[in-house]
């Protein structure tokens, strides 16, 4: 009889192999999905704060309005708060996000003396993650996006689509929360696959595995999916 330790090890190995198969099939289905226009780390940080609780289009409208009005992040930091709020209204929660953005910019300036985040490229993934998330309003997903897509530091961001899809596929425990899922999925996928895996799982969630009515007949993963297998029990 397997000990609990051996059982956990076997389960982890199975989940990792399953994750790699999911990665391969989604790559065949969607190809190498590209991240939107690459941004530097500070731009990505502000853009991702703006993306909270809104869609990509509204985020981009707000971000571009902010960049068009203010030529540097130093000017955003020192601007009248209302001017910042007016720029980012399309992203929603403008009062909250405007104050949050200015607070983060001021805190980074106080700590570093400037608004250049390239120094984080010399940090370990763990240290970069700790540094980014100690600012209020910079959660695990925001930090992971900045790390993975702007700094080239391996991290696995988890949004609502990935959280839902990973639960249905059975590659995370059912009761695991979103925060725990970041490190869990990072342990299942290979670091060099984090970017494409993240983007293709989002595509799966948006285009096929919808929250209310998943289109299982279009999915390339039905034989790997716990949710699908339960439909026919």
Minimal CA–CA distance to 226: which of 10, 14, 5, 4? 14
Q: Is 41-151 in CATH node 1.10.340.30?
A: yes
Q: What is the pLDDT of residue 36?
A: 76
Which region, left, alpha or beta, applies to residue 52 given φ > 0 means left and ψ of -120 to 50 means alpha? beta
pLDDT category at 1 given cuts 50, 70, 90 is very low
- For the chain, give every domain's residue range: 10-34+157-231, 41-151
Give the pLDDT confidence score for residue 35 in this predicted structure.
Answer: 78
Tell me the pLDDT of the chain averaged across its residues. Answer: 93
What's the burial of 44, exposed, middle or buried (CB within 10 Å: 0-12/13-18/19+)? buried
pLDDT at 195: 95
Length of the chain: 233
- Distance from C-alpha of 63 to C-alpha of 49, rounded to nearest angstrom: 10
Q: Is the pLDDT of residue 217 over 80?
A: yes
29: CB partners within 8 A, 6+ apart: 200, 204, 220
Region 207-225 average pLDDT? 96
What confidence score (pLDDT) does residue 130 get? 97
- How far is the CA of 209 from the CAs of 20, 31, 102, 165, in angstroms? 19, 17, 37, 7
Q: Between vectors from CA 61 to CA 143 and to CA 69, what angle results, nearest 5°?
A: 95
- Do residues 225 and 168 touch, judged by C-beta distance below 8 A? yes
Q: What is the mean pLDDT of residues 129-150?
A: 96
Q: What pLDDT was estimated at residue 7?
A: 55
**CATH 1.10.1670.10 given to domain 10-34+157-231:** yes
* Whether the predicted pLDDT of 5 surpasses 50: no
Q: Report pLDDT for 52.
A: 92
Question: pLDDT tier at 34 (50, 70, 90 boundaries)?
Answer: confident
Q: Which residues are CB-neighbours of 35 under 8 A, at least 6 positions away?
A: 149, 195, 199
**Dist. CA 227–CA 141, nearest whole Å:** 25
Q: pLDDT per residue over 109-134, tens digit each?
A: 999 999 999 999 999 999 999 999 99
Catalytic machinery residues: 141
Whether residue 39 has pLDDT greater than 50: yes
Whether 10-34+157-231 shares its CATH topology with 41-151 is answered no
Mean pLDDT of 198-221: 96
pLDDT value for 15: 84
Q: Per-residue pLDDT averaged across 62-81, rounded?
A: 97
């Amino acid at each position: 009889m397997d000990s609990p330790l051996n059982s956990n090890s076997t389960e982890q190995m199975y989940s990792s192999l399953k994750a790699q198969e999911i990665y391969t099939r989604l790559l065949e289905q969607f190809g190498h999905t590209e991240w939107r226009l690459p941004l530097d780390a500070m731009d990505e940080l502000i853009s991702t704060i703006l993306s909270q609780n809104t869609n990509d289009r509204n985020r981009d409208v707000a971000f571009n309005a902010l960049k068009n009005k203010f030529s540097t992040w130093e000017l955003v930091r020192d601007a009248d708060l209302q001017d910042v709020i007016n720029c980012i209204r399309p992203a929603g929660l403008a009062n909250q996000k405007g104050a949050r953005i200015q607070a983060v910019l001021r805190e980074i300036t106080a700590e570093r003396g400037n608004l250049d985040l390239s120094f984080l490229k010399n940090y370990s993934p763990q240290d970069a993650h700790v540094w980014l998330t100690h600012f209020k309003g910079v959660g695990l997903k925001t930090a992971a996006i900045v790390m993975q897509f702007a700094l080239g530091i391996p991290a696995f961001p988890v949004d609502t689509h990935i959280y839902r899809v990973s639960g249905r596929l059975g590659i995370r425990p059912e009761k695991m929360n979103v925060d725990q899922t970041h490190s869990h999925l990072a342990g299942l996928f290979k670091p060099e696959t984090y970017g494409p895996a993240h983007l293709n799982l989002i595509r799966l969630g948006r285009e096929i595995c919808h929250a209310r009515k998943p289109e299982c007949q279009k999915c390339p993963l039905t034989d790997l999916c716990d949710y699908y297998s339960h439909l026919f029990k």
